Structure 1
Amino acid sequence: MVALCTAGFIGLFSETALNIALSDLMKTFELSAATAQWLTTGYLLTLGILVPVSGLLLQWFTTRQLFISALAFAIAGTLLGALSFSFELLMVSRVLQAIGTGLLLPLMFNTILIIFPPHKRGAAMGIVGLVIMFAPAAGPMLAGLMIEFLSWHYIFWFSLPLLILSLFCGIRYMQNVSAITKPGIDLLSIALSTAGFGGIVFGFSHAGESGGWSSMLVIVSIAVGAVSLVLFCLRQNVMKQPMLNLRVFQYPMFTVGLVMVFLCFMVILSSMLVLPLFLQNAMAMSAMTAGLVLLPGGVLNGILSPIVGVLFDKFGPRWLVIPGLALIAVVLWFFSGVTVASSVGLIIVLHCCLMLGISFVMMPSQTNGLNQLPKQLYPDGTAIMNTLQQIAGAIGTAVSVSVLSKGVDSYMSRSAAPTNPHEAAIAFSNGSQNAFVFAMLVAVIGFAIALFIRRVKVAKGAEAARSMH
């Protein structure tokens, strides 16, 4: 658990930490914003392509083999990033880091499902929730401090010793817990999966960066991705040994949990993108100050995750998920009214309440859904859930950036003094309000679906015997 959680923390920390350094990197390497954004898009794209294949890898390689391989890629990418002197080297380092994270996340969930019986999984997943939620929240703040007092290279130097420690810990203590079945490898399924998930992640990411949904590249990417995914699903249904077993969708609580996680991730990543931009562009905060404003919410979420895990074991998901989504929707409604005159204290309180609601939704939905699956479907369930999180992130950020940009443009087109910096700040505030309305609508849809969630009943004795066997 220590090895998996430490490595998982750094993997998810890496996903957001470099975002706050993009401005510095654009100056250092003389890049355009669209080119610099590939450091994030490339990372997400690699995850979107690799994670679906992880269900197959989990059945071909041992726990130790996959863990050591994941850490080797992550360490190589982090060291290369720390030593990078060009954009090309930094791009390669990001892809290597993403390969490490893409192998590690499904392995972490699959291992926990195997080694913990259902009545103890809530507490275990609560610890993982601390990692999953606190790492992306802490990324911008820690990166802001490093950029302020050192340089962007130290984002990588910070991660390197923790990854090495995790590797040694894993080599010493990691056991092989998964069953190796070595199903057949279908190259057409891999090609369709790569084109499908990769095309959708790339299309939405590019739309978010450029702000244009009419771009032919965006339309073609999403269309190719959608058609490839349909063909991929049809192929899996007719194969005797599918690459990704879609029978997981026959379990209703898994499907409900998957939708909850998908919608919640859209809210998380869209809010985590819009809120720092609002603080820096509308309220004129520095990157470090904006990171500090968001820190209490991230810390609160990290503290609450293990507590929510224990509550889930005791009460089940219903009394956590439904109130959590109601709170998220109300908080986002308040966020849709923030302006340049709003107090910093109000922003901190609202962000803390948002993180409170998210902690009540993510882990209980995920754990309850995976609990309903039989053991042989754990690799497929974790692969699908982690893949759709990446797609949710791409869609959430793309739509929120597009809504924000249109709000800014709409206000500036009506402004009597468009060159006035104060008008620009108000315009950005107006665009941010629209983006928060979009996130609120997603939360309301989630609330309606959450009304159908039920606790999965699993016999403790039977599961324990099966785990021992």
Structure 2
Amino acid sequence: MPSPAAAPHPVTTPAQTTLVLRVLTVATFVVILNETIMNNAIPPLMDHFGVPETSAQWLTTAFMLTMAVVIPMTGWIMQRLATRRTFAMAMGLFTLGTAIAAAAPTFEVLVAARVVQAAGTAVMIPLLMTTLMNLVPVADRGRTMGNVSLVIAVAPAMGPAVSGVLLQLGSWRLIFLAVLPIAAIALWLGLARLPEVGEREDSALDVPSVLLATIGFGGIVYGLSGLGGGHGEGGAPADPLVAPAPAAGVAAVALVLFVLRQRALTRTGDPLMDLRTLRHRSFTAAFVTMCLGFAALISSVILLPIHLQKGLGLTTLETGLLLIPGGLLMGLLGPRIGRAYDRVGARPLVVPGSIGLTLSLALFALLVPHVGPWVVLALHMLLSLSLSLLFTPLFTAGLGALPQHLYAHGSALLGSSQQVFGAAGTATSIAVMSLVAGADPSAAERASGVQAGFVLLTVLAAVTIGSCLLVETPAAETATEHDQTLVDA
């Protein structure tokens, strides 16, 4: 394995760079959209398959859980396969999972299909981020990352809106039937036109690290989901998909062993996930803020459809339309915030973003039982505005704080931990909602449960106000060094 200092930047023409980023961005938008596209369908699926909320949330939790397990391996995958083969594997898995989901005869098969989808999605996110960091000079990354934020932030925000429209047109299977041809076309275009970026490297996959990551990341979320598994709809027995909370203890031990294993492998030069990224304070601060912000985003877009449909009586179409403005706001602001980052840096953007995030979630916690859809719309737009101020600067400044040879490991750690926090946030907020609402809840009791879920998210968001103060914009001389490296290459 070549030494980090000797690793050259990939050499591409501007046209190739544009093509690579466009293909990866479009494909990643499609796969990330599916992370939350089932949220609006959860109430109808609960009725269709006869499952409680604690089971139905596994359509989202299992998706994020699989991503958390697979993402740590993406650094090794990209080294072994390089860009084009990695893309083919990721989109091939996603397309296969989408086809299985469209034909799923039972709830268990549908969850399994979501796992296959997630395995492909998990590879696409670090592939896009690592390729962008390698190809784009530091001085232009804010603008480019702003465009990419359409994928990172808008896709999960738009998922419930897209599914709401599709559910109004047909059954839940239409969600997958509509995505399947788009995924197949993206796979074909990538294989036909995507140039190879980077060089393949022979490196060993450390199987003990994979097993420890699977038990650690998976067990924490699986154990947390057991908090709400005491009863189902109508006082039914606890959901069999939900593990007991002691699984979280086993997972914590596995994560400690995983960290020790990675530290030992760092000395040999071949860790599964290089944790030296956390020695960089700005990256660590961005890492904490991003994880908590992502947990708030994913949890809110699963709590809101439940409240809007079960509590306020909105249809799936009305719910989807109500959530569209927030997603569009994030999309329109992404490129502008990216350009603002290039001018003023990260902190003037992320501090207001973290304050707005905490305020919007606190208002949800205070007002959900007492207000109608229009107030929910306004608060969702405030939440979307706040998240748009966070995501682009945090990705750019956080990864930009790392040396080039740690880009892949930094994006893998960031992506994997985001999914753990997102899945844990979803499982925990649904558990809190179920515990407060009780068995077979009325509309008022369910609204109180949703309110309790937002109280939890508000506490998590408040932590970001402190963590984002430690995020620093990479120094100007870093951009010069990066650009010179590209010229020399």
Per the normalisation by structure 2, the TM-score is 0.87
Distance 1:350 1:359, change over 3 A: same
C-alpha offsets along residues 315-356 of structure 1, whole Å, 9 cap, x if unaligned? 110000001111122222222221454243222111111100
1:425 to 429, 443, 453: 443
Identity across aligned pairs (percent)?
Answer: 34
* Separation of aligned partners in 2, 1:163 and 1:381: 27
Asked whether 1:439 is paired with 2:432, we answer no
Question: 1:179, CA displacement in angstroms?
Answer: 4.1
Q: Which amino acid aligns with 2:244?
A: V
CA contact (8 A) 1:37 1:209 kept: no
1:263 to 263, 283, 292: 292
The answer for unaligned runs of 5 or more in structure 2 is: 1-20, 232-237
Which residue in the other structure is 1:77 paired with? 97
* Separation of aligned partners in 2, 1:273 and 1:19: 5
* Separation of aligned partners in 2, 1:80 and 1:389: 26
1:397 to 410, 426, 429: 426
* Separation of aligned partners in 1, 2:139 and 2:193: 24
Superposed CA RMSD? 2.4
Which residue in the other structure is 1:313 paired with? 342
* Separation of aligned partners in 1, 2:275 and 2:370: 50
* Separation of aligned partners in 2, 1:87 and 1:404: 22
C-alpha offsets along residues 243-298 of structure 1, whole Å, 9 cap, x if unaligned? 11111111111111101101111211222222222222222222221221111111
Asked whether 1:130 is paired with 2:156, we answer no
Moved more, 86-95 or 382-391: 86-95
1:276 to 301, 305, 319: 305
Which residue in the other structure is 2:245 paired with? 219
Asked whether 1:242 is paired with 2:241, we answer no
Distance 1:431 1:94, change over 3 A: closer
Secondary structure, counterpart of 2:186 in structure 1: helix
Distance 1:260 1:179, change over 3 A: farther
Moved more, 294-303 or 156-165: 156-165
Which residue in the other structure is 2:200 paired with? 180
Secondary structure, counterpart of 1:182 in structure 2: coil
* Separation of aligned partners in 1, 2:335 and 2:292: 22
* Separation of aligned partners in 1, 2:343 and 2:72: 32
* Separation of aligned partners in 1, 2:302 and 2:389: 21
Asked whether 1:197 is paired with 2:221, we answer no
Which residue in the other structure is 1:299 paired with? 328
CA contact (8 A) 1:320 1:364 kept: yes
Distance 1:167 1:251, change over 3 A: same
Secondary structure, counterpart of 1:61 in structure 2: helix
Question: 1:109, CA displacement in angstroms?
Answer: 0.7
CA contact (8 A) 1:143 1:155 kept: yes
Distance 1:230 1:320, change over 3 A: same
* Separation of aligned partners in 1, 2:225 and 2:243: 11
* Separation of aligned partners in 2, 1:321 and 1:34: 34
* Separation of aligned partners in 1, 2:150 and 2:114: 24
Which residue in the other structure is 2:10 paired with? none
CA contact (8 A) 2:71 2:126 kept: yes
Asked whether 1:462 is paired with 2:481, we answer yes
Question: 1:210, CA displacement in angstroms?
Answer: 5.4
* Separation of aligned partners in 2, 1:229 and 1:126: 33
Moved more, 381-390 or 204-213: 204-213
Secondary structure, counterpart of 1:62 in structure 2: helix
* Separation of aligned partners in 2, 1:325 and 1:279: 25
Kindly report structure 1 stretches of 4+ aligned residues shifted beyond 4 Å: 26-37, 208-213
Distance 1:7 1:261, change over 3 A: same
Distance 1:292 1:132, change over 3 A: same
Which residue in the other structure is 2:358 paired with? 329
Which residue in the other structure is 2:137 paired with? 117
* Separation of aligned partners in 2, 1:86 and 1:331: 38
Which residue in the other structure is 1:415 paired with? none
* Separation of aligned partners in 2, 1:209 and 1:176: 47
Secondary structure, counterpart of 2:201 in structure 1: coil
Moved more, 83-92 or 365-374: 83-92
Q: Which amino acid aligns with 2:77?
A: L
Distance 1:26 1:104, change over 3 A: same
1:96 to 106, 116, 119: 116
* Separation of aligned partners in 2, 1:387 and 1:193: 10
CA contact (8 A) 1:2 1:166 kept: no
Question: 1:208, CA displacement in angstroms?
Answer: 4.9
C-alpha offsets along residues 429-448 of structure 1, whole Å, 9 cap, x if unaligned? 32322322222222211101
* Separation of aligned partners in 1, 2:138 and 2:466: 26
Moved more, 429-438 or 2-11: 429-438
CA contact (8 A) 2:219 2:251 kept: yes
Question: 1:32, CA displacement in angstroms?
Answer: 5.4
Aligned length: 457
The answer for unaligned runs of 5 or more in structure 1 is: 413-418
* Separation of aligned partners in 1, 2:62 and 2:468: 33
Distance 1:336 1:24, change over 3 A: closer
* Separation of aligned partners in 1, 2:109 and 2:304: 30
CA contact (8 A) 1:251 1:373 kept: yes
Which residue in the other structure is 2:385 paired with? 356
Question: 1:393, CA displacement in angstroms?
Answer: 0.6
Secondary structure, counterpart of 2:366 in structure 1: coil
CA contact (8 A) 2:97 2:113 kept: yes
